[in-house]
């Protein structure tokens, strides 16, 4: 996509330290790492975020993230790893091209990835669980006279 930094990194127009590559994504070092070894797994094709990315691309990316996590553990002896995907501005996504962060963690590294833990009533949990567990259903657009092949299917979230 025109003007997208990560598309330019994928095409090689902007240089990067590339770690590995598949037919669907690349893994590069983050230019401003939280810790040494902080890696970004970036889709080769431009997708904005988790909502629009193809399933097979995302599946490939998470497996690459796993591979990087293992390498960081084995080769840099990190004590753990945060695997994060920010989606949309409010969630901290600065570059609107789908990517997964793999951040190695070390003792006393001063990296802060946290949130205030909320208290909620059992009823609230129950209501949220109910809404999230309901299956999407397909609403048929059209009527009896509409030929079947012309009926538009639409995902509707209740
Ligand atoms: P976001 O907040 O969008 O999830 O994270 C974007 C990440 O991309 C940031 O951690 C930032 O340091 C990294 N980044 C931004 N521009 C570049 C760049 O030109 N090269 C590399 N290697 N990383 C970048
Ligand atoms: Zn892009």
Convert the pLDDT of each residue in 97-139 to its tens digit.
999 999 999 999 999 999 999 999 999 999 999 999 998 865 5
Q: Is the pLDDT of residue 5 over 80?
A: yes
Let me know whether 66 and 13 are in one domain: yes
Ligand 1 atom nearest to CA at 94? 3
Let me know whether 99 and 127 are in one domain: no
Let me know whether 36 and 99 are in one domain: yes
Let me know whether 98 and 56 are in one domain: yes
Let me know whether 126 and 97 are in one domain: no
Q: Provide the domain count of the chain.
A: 2
Let me know whether 145 and 73 are in one domain: no
Q: Residue 136 belongs to what domain range? A: 122-156
Kindly give the distance from the C-alpha atom of residue 114 to the centroid of ligand 2, in angstroms, as a whole number.
Answer: 28
Residue whose Cα lies nearest atom 8 of ligand 1: it is 30
Residues near 83 by beta carbon (within 8 Å), at least 6 away in sequence:
62, 65, 69, 100, 101, 102, 103
- Our answer to whether residue 46 is catalytic in this structure is no
Q: What is the pLDDT of residue 158?
A: 41
CATH number of 95's domain: 3.30.428.10
Which pTM was predicted?
0.88
Pocket of ligand 1 (CB under 6 A): 5, 14, 16, 28-32, 40, 86, 92-95
């Amino acid at each position: 996509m025109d003007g997208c930094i990560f598309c330019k990194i994928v095409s090689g127009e902007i240089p990067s330290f590339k770690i590995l590559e598949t037919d669907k994504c690349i893994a590069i070092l983050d230019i401003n790492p939280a810790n040494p070894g902080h890696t970004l797994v970036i889709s080769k094709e431009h997708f904005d975020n988790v909502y629009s990315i193809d399933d097979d691309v995302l599946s490939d990316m998470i497996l690459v993230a796993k591979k990087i996590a293992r390498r960081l553990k084995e080769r840099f002896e990190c004590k753990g790893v945060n695997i994060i995907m920010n989606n949309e501005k409010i969630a901290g996504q600065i570059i609107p091209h789908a990517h997964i962060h793999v951040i190695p963690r070390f003792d006393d590294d001063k990296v802060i990835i946290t949130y205030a833990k909320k208290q909620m009533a059992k009823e609230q949990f129950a209501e949220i669980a109910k809404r999230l567990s309901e299956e999407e259903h397909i609403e048929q657009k059209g009527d009896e006279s509409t030929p079947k092949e012309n009926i538009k299917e639409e995902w509707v979230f209740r």
